[in-house]
Amino acid sequence: MHIPLKLKEKLSAAERIVITTHFNPDGDAIGSALAMYHYFLLKGYEVAVMVPNSFPDFLAWMKGARDIIIYEQDADQCSTLLKQAEIIFCLDYNAIQRTGNMQEAILGASAARVLIDHHLEPDKEHFDFLFSTVETSSTAELVYNFILAYGDADLINVDIATGIYVGIMTDTGSFSYSCNHEETYRVVAELFRTGIDGGHIHRLVYDTFSESRLRLLGYCLSEKLVVLPGYKTAYIALSREELDRFNYQVGDTEGVVNYALSIKGIRFAVFFTERKDKVRLSFRSVGDFSVNEFAGKYFSGGGHKNAAGGDSYLSMDETIERFLTLLPEFQDQLSDHT
């Protein structure tokens, strides 16, 4: 990674930095943001991290998480900080639209916008500097590369390393996908040199289910899983009433779609969740079938080749019906996989 001289000059002259992430921030978004937060604090900047909406409790243990400002809860403070910022870092999203209700405030700020992201097809129009590649495990790994490119490897302490490790670990499914590059493991090895405890971090993220979250997962698998062998597809759909029945909290459905994909022979999995004003779709695939293209073409979404999201403004039943009518078009593609 190369840091342009113009960005170095801006950083040298700046005092106030804001770090932003996408709507429904996940482990990579929060981990990346907190890693950069601790890094820039060490560099002497005034730093704020803001996210569009709440993030899962299983990430709240990370140092600095309590300092994250949630736009939905304090839009005025966020807008003020964005107006005062000289540089805005845009982490783990490829388009301003992915920040939801925060996008207008970001676009209205006069600060330089720096994109650090690993999703497909970044929207170059709204960013002044781009560090974007799909050949990297996670945005967190790109944050690590940014710090090294700036010549600050010696500043990477336990707090920074923890954020980067959480980002890499969660965005690769505990190193089970999107991590076939040697460099990822070299980065992780260097992170362990700081003294982080990988096993402890894994337990804090993955082994802190509430009873209601575990019962919700059981309900998804026993009552809501639909398998379509002819299309090598499986899906799960949850209504708002069902979410409420299990006392749904942000993050409770994280990873559910992967269970559908884990069935032998399944190549395409979808998880539908009913929200207040839309149905959210999470797509996963294996092999060459691109859920990024599928989500973008039919559900105004996108992401990675094998992991993407989208939205439908139809009812749940209408959304599922539309999805089912699309499958015959892709039957040959799905059947090509072995």
What CA–CA distance (Å, rounded) separates 134 from 87?
24
pLDDT at 115: 97
174 and 58 within one domain: yes
For the domain that residue 255 is a member of, what is the CATH number? Answer: 3.10.310.30
The last residue of one of the domains, among 181, 206, 231, is 206
pLDDT at 179: 81
The last residue of one of the domains, among 174, 189, 206, is 206
pLDDT tens string 144-162: 999 999 999 999 999 999 9
219 and 148 within one domain: no
66 and 52 within one domain: yes
Mean confidence (pLDDT) of the chain: 94
218 and 193 within one domain: no
111 and 47 within one domain: yes
Query: For the chain, first and last CA: distance in Å?
Result: 37
User: What's the Rg (C-alpha) of the chain?
Assistant: 20
Count how many residues are written for the chain. 338
169 and 60 within one domain: yes
191 and 230 within one domain: no
pLDDT at 336: 67
pLDDT at 199: 96
275 and 151 within one domain: no
231 and 195 within one domain: no
Residue range of the domain that includes 121:
5-206
- For β-strands 226-228 and 307-312, DSSP reports them as unpaired
**Is the separation of the CB atoms in 255 and 266 below 8 Å?**
no
198 and 62 within one domain: yes
150 and 11 within one domain: yes
Q: Based on the structure, what is the number of domains in the chain? A: 2
For the domain that residue 119 is a member of, what is the CATH number? Answer: 3.90.1640.10
* Residues 175, 177, 182, 184, CA torsion sign: negative
189 and 87 within one domain: yes
pLDDT at 180: 84
Q: What is the pTM of this model?
A: 0.89
One digit per residue, the tens of pLDDT, for the chain of length 338 reads: 889 899 999 999 999 999 999 999 999 999 999 999 999 999 999 999 999 999 999 999 999 999 999 999 999 999 999 999 999 999 999 999 999 899 999 999 999 999 999 988 888 889 999 999 988 999 999 999 999 999 999 999 999 999 999 999 999 988 887 788 899 999 999 999 999 999 999 999 999 889 999 999 999 999 999 999 999 999 999 999 999 999 999 889 988 999 999 999 999 999 999 998 899 999 999 988 999 999 999 998 888 888 889 999 999 999 999 999 999 999 988 986 54
The last residue of one of the domains, among 144, 177, 206, is 206
